[in-house]
Amino acid sequence: MFIRAYYDKSTGNGLKWYALTSGVYRIPTFEEDYAAFIELSERNADTISYIDFENGEYYQDFAQCNGYRVNPETLEIEFSYPDPNATDPQEPVFRKPFSEELEETKQAIAELTLLLAQMQTGGM
């Protein structure tokens, strides 16, 4: 799976993302996307940049987010996720992808489990 995310160069705000999911596909050029998507063609092309993600990286994050941006300082992708408990519209709060946070949490749990096992067997 291939994902492309377009964003505003100066603010980092997300403009348009899409995924190519079929087994065989051709990755479009910027010019083809610019002509095909109104979110891009209404803007000056010099103000737009994009990031390509291979192997479905961040697909779940894109599918579940209510906004994304590319941090202008770090050039890393950040997502805003809807609050299921909110009753009023919320301002987006951008953070690292949930998928990365999940992997970091799994790693921390594995390290703590190993430490606990070592402590229980007197290995510390």
For residue 75, being part of any structural domain is answered with yes
Domain range spanning residue 61?
2-98
For residue 108, being part of any structural domain is answered with no
- The one-character DSSP state at 2 is E
Residue-wise pLDDT for 35-86, tens only, equals: 999 999 999 999 999 999 988 899 999 999 999 999 989 999 999 998 878 7
Distance CA 22, CA 32 (A): 19
CB 121 within 8 A of CB 115: no
For residue 18, being part of any structural domain is answered with yes
For residue 106, being part of any structural domain is answered with no
pLDDT: which is higher, 25 or 68: 68
For residue 118, being part of any structural domain is answered with no
Complete DSSP assignment for 30-85: HHHHHHH-HHHHTS-GGGEEEEEE-TTTTHHHHHH-SEEEE-TTT--EEEE---TT
Q: Please report, rounded to a whole number, the percentage of residues in the chain having pLDDT higher than 90.
A: 56
| pTM score of the predicted model | 0.77
pLDDT of residue 40: 98
Q: For residue 124, is pLDDT > 70?
A: no
The span from the first CA to the last CA of the chain, in angstroms, equals 45
For residue 115, being part of any structural domain is answered with no
Q: For residue 104, is pLDDT > 80?
A: yes
For residue 80, being part of any structural domain is answered with yes
Phi–psi pair at 53, nearest 5 degrees: -120, 125
Q: Which of 111, 4, 112 minimizes the C-alpha distance to 68? A: 4
Number of domains in the chain: 1
Phi–psi pair at 59, nearest 5 degrees: -60, -50
For residue 86, being part of any structural domain is answered with yes
Distance CA 21, CA 64 (A): 17
Averaged pLDDT of the chain: 90
